[in-house]
Structure 1
Amino acid sequence: MSAARPRSARRRHRSAGLVVLLLGLLAVGSAYAAVVPDAAVADRSSQSQTIEEGRKLFAVGCSSCHGLNAEGAGNGEGELAGPSLIGVGAAAVDFQVGTGRMPAVQPGAQIPQKPPSYTQEEIEALSAYVASLAPGPAVPAEESFDVSNVTDEQITRGGELFRTNCTACHNFAGKGGALPNGRYAPSLMDSTPRHIYQAMLTGPQQMPVFSDQVLQPEDKRDIIAYIVALQEQKDPGGFGLGRLGPVSEGLWGWLVGIGLLVAVAVWIGAKGMKAKGRTPDTPEKG
């Protein structure tokens, strides 16, 4: 009788199963990677295409004032035609182009708002290109300026912040106002929450920058909620008179109110003299 084979020779190594499992996972992963493109690579490729599209749009519509590489350019007379855009960020581009202020029709002390010249896709491409030049404020996420679910308490708080930080230029009712050197603070009655947030974040033209260290994101959202409430507010008296306060109301009172009283007084006097058979030119009898 031959000797029995040792049990240790028939027993598999303890790590054999683990090695087989790892080899199987490696094979499946390699096959998946070969068939399906890397999502990160795809995203980078899409972003690169957006930036390249924005660069082309910038070269055609913006470079004459801001320079071919957004470094700023002169007008040939020793004056600056357009400032450098390096470091302004995507939010500034989205605001300026989205509100139609850029491209500007002509330079001036104040660039007015007008219908945008670019589609939203083109605006996003321009923003991506400028953002690729240097770090700057990004376009805020939609939840940052979404005020659909704000409470009355938040609107009240936003009104306090607005009166503290904004009324000196934009008027207590958001109607705007005059500033020195031919400039003015525009009315906020047609501004969207997205653009209001971006304006506070980037400080366009003469507006100061309200960074997150000055006004926190929740402060900005509450201010936007208050402005939206002003936009939706009706005029209970029928005439808003521009919502400019006591100046327009007092002027209306003097010109219209007192003017009507004077007209009524003259009419009553003329009516009384006519009832006595006299006209204003008839001399009294002695």
Structure 2
Amino acid sequence: MAKPLLLVFALFVMGGLYAILAPSDVSSADTTKSQQVEAGRKLFAVGCSSCHGLNGQGSSQGPTLVGVGAAAVDFQVSTGRMPLAYPQQQAPQTKVSYNDDEIAALAAYVQTLGPGPEIPSASQYQPSGLTDEEVARGGELFRTNCSACHNAEGAGGALPNGKYAPSLVGVSDKHIYEAMLTGPQQMPVFSDQVVTPKDKQEIIAYLQTLHERPNNGGLALGGIGPVSEGLWTWIVGLGVLVAFAVWIAAKGAKAK
């Protein structure tokens, strides 16, 4: 009889110790997470469901959000691209409608709809301690994968059907990383399997170096390469030729 009672007592003590020592932090974290998700669900129902559906399933007005992940929500909402005021070709960057806590709650809720990329930590998107060779490699990666749309200087550029690649000047490291990770709008997704986290850091470091370099003078023409350069070539070059043609014609007429 003593052994069963001793066993019951031991189990009771172990259960009590476990309840006191272990689950408190876990339970608190779970409760906080649940509250955040619930807050995000309410915000979503008011501000997002009219386009994306009450359960994020999508509609004729907006795509499904199932599986896009928290990173996509953080990028779109914290840059003011969402919520979109009215349908248009491309969501522009505007004034942010939510504070940081509300954005985190929306992202946490959408993450529960289906697995997707999480919001990156500062250690992931902030390049530090990279060598000149690694920064140069970031430039190669950028020119290979990004410059066709964003231009070699990251100044942005026009795309078909009224769309455009936005300028990357002044864009935060976090948002550049999230954009590569999630592929907003017409941008392709550069997953960690295609462009590794280290590759992404090197690209960000290259952009930092590019945009922090001093202006040594000269006319940059917007930094958008052959578009503005070609325009000025036509205006100045063709203009000079026309002027010469008029001058020659006028001089020839006087000679007669």
State the TM-score, normalized to the length of structure 2.
Answer: 0.82
Match of 1:228 in 2: 208
Match of 1:38 in 2: 24
Consecutive unaligned residues in structure 2, runs of 5 or more: 1-5, 244-256
Distance in structure 1 (CA, Å) of the matches to 2:113 and 2:226: 49
Consecutive unaligned residues in structure 1, runs of 5 or more: 1-18, 74-79, 264-286
CA shift, 1:176, in A, is 0.9
SS in 2 for 1:71: coil
Distance in structure 1 (CA, Å) of the matches to 2:150 and 2:65: 26
Distance in structure 1 (CA, Å) of the matches to 2:62 and 2:223: 35
Q: What aligned pairs does 1:83-98 form with structure 2 within 5 A after superposition?
A: 83-98=63-78
Highest Rg: 1 or 2? Answer: 1
Distance in structure 1 (CA, Å) of the matches to 2:161 and 2:228: 24
Match of 1:55 in 2: 41
Q: Which of 171, 180, 187 is 1:207 aligned to?
A: 187
RMSD: 2.8
Match of 1:144 in 2: 124
CA shift, 1:194, in A, is 0.4
Quote the sequence identity (%). Answer: 59
CA shift, 1:48, in A, is 0.1
SS in 2 for 1:82: coil
Residues 180 and 189, structure 2, Cα contact 8 Å, conserved in 1 = yes
Q: Which of 41, 47, 52 is 1:66 aligned to?
A: 52
Q: Which of 230, 244, 257 is 2:224 aligned to?
A: 244
> Taking structure 1 as reference, are residues 258 and 133 closer, same or farther at Cα in structure 2, changes over 3 Å only?
closer
Q: What aligned pairs does 1:106-117 form with structure 2 within 5 A after superposition?
A: 106-117=86-97
CA shift, 1:228, in A, is 1.5
Q: Which of 148, 157, 166 is 1:177 aligned to?
A: 157
State the TM-score, normalized to the length of structure 1.
Answer: 0.74
> Taking structure 1 as reference, are residues 237 and 39 closer, same or farther at Cα in structure 2, changes over 3 Å only?
same
Distance in structure 2 (CA, Å) of the matches to 1:183 and 1:85: 22
Aligned length: 234
Match of 1:8 in 2: none
Map Cα deviations across residues 57-80 of structure 1 (whole Å, 9 max, x no partner). Answer: 10111111111111112xxxxxx2
> Taking structure 1 as reference, are residues 234 and 40 closer, same or farther at Cα in structure 2, changes over 3 Å only?
same
2:125 partner letter: F
Q: Name which structure has the greater RCO, CA cutoff 8 Å, separation 6+.
A: 2
Map Cα deviations across residues 162-199 of structure 1 (whole Å, 9 max, x no partner). Answer: 00000111101101111111111111112111011111
